[in-house]
Amino acid sequence: MSGSSLCGVVEPADFQAAAATAAAAAAAATRANSSSDRDEWSVSECGFMDPEVQRTMRSGSAAEDITQYPLRGWQEVTGEFIAACQELIPGELAQDMMFGLFEAMSAIEIMDPKMDVGMGFDKSDLPPPSFEAAITMGVIKLDDLTPTELIGIFDALFSCIVSWLEGNSMDQVLFTCLYLHAPAKIKDKPLRVFCTAVRNLIAVIKSIILLAGVNEEEDFQLYGNSTLLSAEKAHPGNIFGYLKEVEDELVRKCKQLTSPEDLMSVVHRLRFMRHLFQVIYQVEQMETSTGTEDRMSEIYKNLNVASELLPLIRKTIDRGTQPVEGSEAPNPIGFSTRIHDRSQPPSFPRSIKIRDRPASFQFLEEMISRFKYACKVTRNKDYFSALNFFIEYSKKSGQCILSRSVLQAIFTANLRMVHGRMPMKQFLRHSVQAFNSPPVLSAKNTVSSDPKVQQQLENFFRYCISLNTFTMFIRICGFNRARQRDKLGRLIENFDAIQVDAARLDSFMNQLANERAMEGNELHATALKHSTHFSTWVLYNCFRAMLIYLMSGFELELYAVHEFLYIYWYPYEFLVGFLVSALTRTENILLAQEEYAEHLSKTQANGGSTSKNRKVAKPRKNKKLQRPYRCEIVFYHALLSLCGGMYKAMGALTKDGRVRLPMDTFDNEEVRYIRRFRPFGSLTSPPPVSYQEFKSIRDHMMLASVEDLYSVAAKHFDQARNILENIQNPDQEVLDLLQIARTNFVVMNVLARGHQKDVKRQPEFDFSKHSYFPIIKLK
């Protein structure tokens, strides 16, 4: 062994230490007490057992201490170390007793180009220039920038903002721009104002996202260089004033030029920044102050101007300086790409691709239209339509964190505006009324002033708020698509407690109705009767959460093909049916109440001028009330048929031997089934369906011949097609579903007739048209 002489040097120390700690070691570790062998050392001497080391290893601030080493002195052991390692067998590890999987997995690999920021360092390399260094080196221009240079810097900064919003660290994208480090020191006025605006924009965006709280680490990097993050002295409220001033100056200059196109392009960018900033700033203000209505129209105006400016800007991208081929910097001047690399947390990615300019402006264009869409949330005055809006918005705009946060901001601000100081409780109360209009909630009805009733209602809504279930449902829709499923799983469990409470409230109302009927108070009794209002409302929302949870698994590609059968079975057999019946029941209640109200008004007002007025107003109101949920019900009917079609189709394909099944030894369908429906297990309503129940239902279906199964599936798809075709003014989703239903109908018919009977290939399931339902394709 090459290092044996070194070993000799340390040995005496071993003996000394062993002798010194003999007593302690004997007491502490019974195994160590017999040590007399020359090669042995006591436990206390091992590095890990060193109390000093242990203390540093355990304390959180230990990382600072590493810089104090060596405590004793470096002793070169390369040869000895490598020789010792070679004694280990392949796969054997020599590891510290505190070393585990976590440490192994979190280690970054040195010299790996993706992980190691310090790689490629050369001692002769100059450090990346800071703002001051760049000035002394003369590589950064502070004054008299040409319009071409300005356009280049502005466009590069827009790209940086977009890259930041896509989840990159602001230090690695935005603050690679040296101009942003000290905007006040820039002499060129347009550039100074623009950079100040960007600095403030960053702070405002960050605050919106923080307040909305629908971000996850993969969406957005909240943290960055804190000294740069604190906004420049300028108050954000003054920024658009500055921008306007510079714009006006430049426009005046343009008038004196013979070819002002380049300068006008600069003006367009400044103007776009002004309107974008104003939008973002107003949204942030809305979250903290009142006066929402004025702000909304302001925001809308600014969004319109901004979206008109973007085509002009996109057309003039090539007027600016372009990034140098092969360079990481988004623009030839003003950027120092690796300036913050060494201050990043070690686990951060080393190099970042900043979006190119055309793609960045496209992103901004889409973002502006997403904002416009988000503004429409204010039209939704009750939970039912608000939830629909959020679900729809998430499908269309779920990928952009800022758009999602803006929606949350507008929604909460709007809630406050409409419902005053106790927004959520009032909102829910109002929502139940809008959903199925329980008479006890109507202020007109005298029963609502009954203190007992009031108390019960108060308790129920307070309970809803304290459990947070309804608020959470809306917020969950604000998270990114992949995270929603996980959160919904937990939300569904929460519904049980509210269901119980709602049912209790309903039965209380019914009981009270009986009492009042006994007392002879017919008016109150009728108002309180047939009230499954509250539980229907809660159940409806719970079913929706369940359906989204289940179907989102397709979107996230979690299910294997052989699992499709029970995933489609559950909504076919239960969920969608429940939804339809909840909505139908609600409609019936509304109709019954309408009739009753009509009856009342007739008996109350016998003739006279009032009844005349009412008659004029009524027909319209009636029509609107008659079938408020017709659209939803029809749509769910179509979903039901599609689920049924898919379920039967999967049954047929499985029986036909066209579905690849897992090998028996590795398979346990029951375990998978339970896992897939786990969040539903904690609910009392709908009661959980056991695997045995499912199995017997499936086995029963499977008794039919393959051909019959195919044709039953075809029938379901045909039914779906029929329903979907009859929907008036279909949106894109309906059209897509229609195409899926049509195609699958044909495929099922073909298979029923025995096409490709001998080729048992698994068909392809193409989810590109709709994330819940595939087009079945035979290869």
Partner 1 sequence: MEDLCISGHQVQVQPVAPAEPFRITTNAPHQMNDPSMTAGRKTLQKWLGRVLRIVITDGRVLVGFFNCTDRDANIVLSMCAEYLVEGQEPRLLGNVMVPGKHIVSISIDEGEPTATNVEVA
**Segment 61 to 80, residues that bind partner 1, using CB under 8 A:** 62-67, 69-78, 80
State which residue, 100 or 420, has the beta carbon closest to partner 1: 100
The residues near 82 (Cβ < 8 Å, ≥ 6 apart) are none
C-alpha–C-alpha distance, residues 165 and 609, integer Å: 62
Residue 37 carries which side chain, given as an amino acid letter? Answer: D
Closer residue to partner 1, CB minimum distance, 94 or 663: 94
The span from the CA of 430 to the CA of 435, in Å, is 9
- The footprint of partner 1 on residues 208-247 (CB under 8 A) is none
Residue with tokens 């076919």: 572
By CB under 8 A, the residues from 2 to 21 that bind partner 1 are 3, 7, 9-10, 13
Nearest distance from C-beta of residue 38 to partner 1, angstroms = 11
In DSSP terms, which residues pair with 777 in a beta bridge?
764
Q: Which stretch, 42-50, 236-244, 290-298, 640-648, contacts partner 1 (CB under 8 A)?
A: 42-50
Whether the Cβ atoms of residue 281 and residue 236 lie closer than 8 Å to each other: yes
Bridge partner list, 776 = 765
- Residues 394-433 touching partner 1, rule: CB under 8 A, are none
Query: Strand 775-777 and strand 764-766: pairing?
Result: antiparallel
| Alpha-carbon separation of residue 762 from 45, 567, 659, 660, 748 (angstroms) | 64, 18, 5, 7, 14
Alpha carbons within 13 A on the beta-carbon side of 700: 6
The strand pairing partners of 766, in sequence order, are 775
| Alpha carbons 672 and 547: distance in angstroms, whole number | 18
Distance CA 489, CA 469 (A): 12
- Contacts to partner 1 from residues 315-344, by CB under 8 A: 342
With CA atoms as reference, report the closest residue to 495 among 479, 475, 473, 477.
Answer: 473
Q: Residue 118, interface with partner 1 (CB under 8 A)?
A: yes
From residue 99, give the alpha-carbon distance in Å to each of 89, 105, 356: 19, 11, 43
Closer Cβ to partner 1, 344 or 362, answer by number = 344
When the beta carbons of 59 and 468 are compared against partner 1, the nearer one is 59
Question: Does 617 engage in binding with partner 1 (CB under 8 A)?
Answer: no
Nearest residue (CB) to partner 1, 289 versus 343? 343
Nearer to partner 1, 49 or 750 (CB): 49
Using the rule CB under 8 A, give the single segment among 34-42, 247-255, 321-329, 446-454 that binds partner 1. Answer: 34-42
Q: Which stretch binds partner 1 (CB under 8 A): 49-57, 138-146, 632-640, 716-724?
A: 49-57
Q: If binding is defined by CB under 8 A, does position 58 make contact with partner 1?
A: no
Q: Which is nearer to partner 1, 237 or 346 (CB)?
A: 346
Q: Which is nearer to partner 1, 27 or 558 (CB)?
A: 27
Task: Tell me if 364 sits within 8 A of 163, measured CB to CB.
Answer: no
Q: Between 32 and 157, whose beta carbon lies closer to partner 1?
A: 32
Q: How far is the CB of 740 from partner 1 (least distance, A)?
A: 49
**Identity of the amino acid at 232:** E
One symbol per residue from 181 to 200: x for binding partner 1 (CB under 8 A), - otherwise; what is it?
--------------------
Closer of 103 and 519 to partner 1 (Cβ): 103
Both tokens of 215, joined, read: 């971000």
Size of the site for partner 1 (CB under 8 A): 81
Q: Is 47 in the site for partner 1 (CB under 8 A)?
A: yes
Asked if 60 interacts with partner 1 (CB under 8 A), we say no
**Of the ranges 26-34, 242-250, 258-266, 509-517, which one interacts with partner 1 (CB under 8 A)?**
26-34
Q: Does 349 bind partner 1 (CB under 8 A)?
A: no
Binding mask of the shown chain, residues 76 to 115, with x at each position contacting partner 1 by CB under 8 A: xxx-xxxxxxxxxxxxxxxxxxxxx--xx-xxxxxx----
CA 477 from centroid of its chain's CA atoms: 7
Q: Which lies closer to partner 1 via its Cβ, residue 347 or residue 682?
A: 347
Closest contact distance (angstroms) between CB of 68 and partner 1 is 10
Q: Which residues contact 378 (CB under 8 A, 6 or more apart)?
A: 296, 410, 414
Say which residues have a Cβ less than 8 Å from residue 122's Cβ, sequence separation at least 6: none
User: In whole angstroms, how close is the CB of 708 to partner 1 at the nearest point?
Assistant: 54
Q: How many residues does the chain have?
A: 779
**Burial readout 268-303 (b: 16 or more C-beta within 10 A, e: otherwise):** bbbbbbbbbbbbbbbbbbbbeeeebeebbebbeebb
In the complex, least distance from residue 215 CB atom to partner 1, rounded to whole angstroms: 24
**Binding residue (CB under 8 A) for partner 1 from 1, 24, 422, 523:** 1
- Least distance between partner 1 and beta carbon 299 (Å): 44
CB of 20 to partner 1, least distance (A): 14
Q: Among 38, 58, 123, 252, which residue interacts with partner 1 (rule: CB under 8 A)?
A: 123
Handedness of CA 60, 66, 70, 76 (dihedral sign): positive
CA distances from 25 to 29, 31, 55 (A): 6, 9, 19
Smaller CB separation from partner 1, 43 or 333: 43
Task: Examine residue 121 and tell whether it contacts partner 1 (CB under 8 A).
Answer: yes
Rounded distance between C-alpha atoms, residue 163 and residue 170, angstroms: 9
Single out the residue of 15, 23, 50, 507 in contact with partner 1 (rule: CB under 8 A). Answer: 50
